[in-house]
């Protein structure tokens, strides 16, 4: 058990709908990352939040958005869903720190069990 | 786009044998991490090696890093059936220290009892 929790485990919905995936990081971790795993694209980084602020963006579609709340949990919102959005969505968290000369510097990322999204 | 490429894509061995997986990457890195994924499940962190390290051990795992060749290898010694999984290398690229992981396509390992 990594200490990262994700809900729900499975989600089945229809095209055009909107869903919200939730992630609770390990206690004390300030950084949260979202990844998408699909058969054709593999594991792709979507977005990172650090202590409530967006830190990095990857191959995230405009239909997708995320946020990190003051209690550090994060939500990934997927809207206008398409068949191709069916995938495993992982959240990860890590300890991050700043050194005063840059950062946040990050270390091992711990992954949650994932949410399997099926769009019909 | 993928930063890392694993080789081989698939590996099948007998229990007790060693398994070696290789990973090549394209740009300079801060660190390289190896993860294991059992079928359809979450990723389990195995080991992290920093760019200034050349070798690291953890139990039956040995990871090497050659930054001049931009490559890393993961050796699993005395493999067990429970090691059957997909193994991914992931790099944290040089600039920005965002921690964004760039994953390879993975090596699927099957260990036959």
> What confidence score (pLDDT) does residue A1 get?
83
Q: B48 versus A13: which is more confidently predicted?
A: A13
Rounded CA-CA distance A22/A7 in Å is 5
B76 pLDDT above the threshold of 80: yes
Residues A113, B42: C-beta atoms closer than 8 Å: yes
B97 to chain A, any CB pair closer than 8 A? The answer is yes
Average pLDDT of chain B to the nearest whole number:
89
In which residue ranges of chain A is pLDDT below 70? Answer: 96-106
* Phi, psi for residue A95 in degrees, rounded to 5: -75, 135
> What confidence score (pLDDT) does residue B6 get?
85
B104 pLDDT above the threshold of 50: yes
> What confidence score (pLDDT) does residue A97 get?
57
Nearest CA in chain A to B101: A45
Rounded CA-CA distance B76/B58 in Å is 10
> What confidence score (pLDDT) does residue B28 get?
82
Rounded CA-CA distance A12/A19 in Å is 10
> What confidence score (pLDDT) does residue B7 get?
86
Facing A106 at nearest CB: one of B40, B44, B99: B99
Q: B67 versus A105: which is more confidently predicted?
A: B67
Q: Under a CB-based contact definition with an 8 Å cutoff, are residues B3 and B102 in contact?
A: yes
Residues of A in contact with B35 (CB under 8 A): 111
Selected residue of A43, A99, A118 to mutate for chain B interface (largest B Cβ count, 10 A): A43
pLDDT (average), residues B72-83: 97
Residues of A in contact with B92 (CB under 8 A): 106
> What confidence score (pLDDT) does residue B42 get?
87
Rounded CA-CA distance B70/B10 in Å is 21
Residue A5: other Cβ atoms inside 10 A:
15
For B49-65, letters b (16+ CB in 10 Å) and e give: beeeeeebeeeebbbbb
> What confidence score (pLDDT) does residue B40 get?
75
Residues of B in contact with A44 (CB under 8 A): 103
Q: Under a CB-based contact definition with an 8 Å cutoff, are residues A16 and A4 in contact?
A: no
Residue B39 sits at the vertex; the CA angle it makes with A48 and B27, to the nearest 5 degrees, is: 45
- Range among A77-91, B44-58, B95-109 with highest mean pLDDT value: A77-91
Residue B1 confidence class, pLDDT cut points 50, 70, 90: very low
Please tell me the distance in Å from A114's CA to the nearest CA on chain B.
6
> What confidence score (pLDDT) does residue A100 get?
45
Rounded CA-CA distance A22/B73 in Å is 34
Q: Under a CB-based contact definition with an 8 Å cutoff, are residues B89 and B4 in contact?
A: yes
B100 to chain A, any CB pair closer than 8 A? The answer is yes
> What confidence score (pLDDT) does residue B5 get?
81
């Amino acid at each position: 058990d990594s200490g990262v929790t994700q809900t729900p485990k499975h989600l089945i919905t229809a095209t055009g709908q909107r869903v919200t995936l939730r992630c609770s990081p390990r206690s004390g971790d300030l950084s949260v990352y979202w990844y998408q795993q699909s058969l054709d694209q593999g594991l792709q980084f979507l977005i990172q939040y650090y202590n409530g602020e967006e830190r990095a963006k990857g191959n995230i579609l405009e239909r997708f958005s995320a946020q990190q709340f003051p209690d550090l949990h994060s939500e990934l919102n997927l809207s206008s869903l398409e068949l191709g959005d069916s995938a495993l969505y992982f959240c990860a968290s890590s300890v991050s720190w700043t050194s005063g000369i840059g950062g946040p510097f990050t270390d091992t990322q711990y992954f949650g069990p994932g949410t399997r999204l099926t769009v019909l | 786009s993928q930063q890392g490429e694993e080789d081989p894509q698939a590996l099948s061995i007998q229990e007790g044998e060693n398994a070696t997986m290789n990973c090549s990457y394209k740009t300079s890195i801060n660190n390289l991490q190896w993860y294991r994924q059992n079928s359809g499940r979450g990723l389990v962190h195995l080991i992290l090696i920093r760019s200034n390290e050349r070798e690291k051990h953890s139990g039956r795992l040995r990871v090497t890093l050659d930054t001049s060749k931009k490559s890393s290898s993961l050796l699993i010694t005395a493999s067990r059936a429970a090691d059957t999984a997909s193994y991914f290398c992931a790099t944290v690229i040089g600039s920005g220290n965002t921690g964004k992981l760039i994953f390879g396509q993975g090596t699927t390992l099957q260990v036959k009892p």
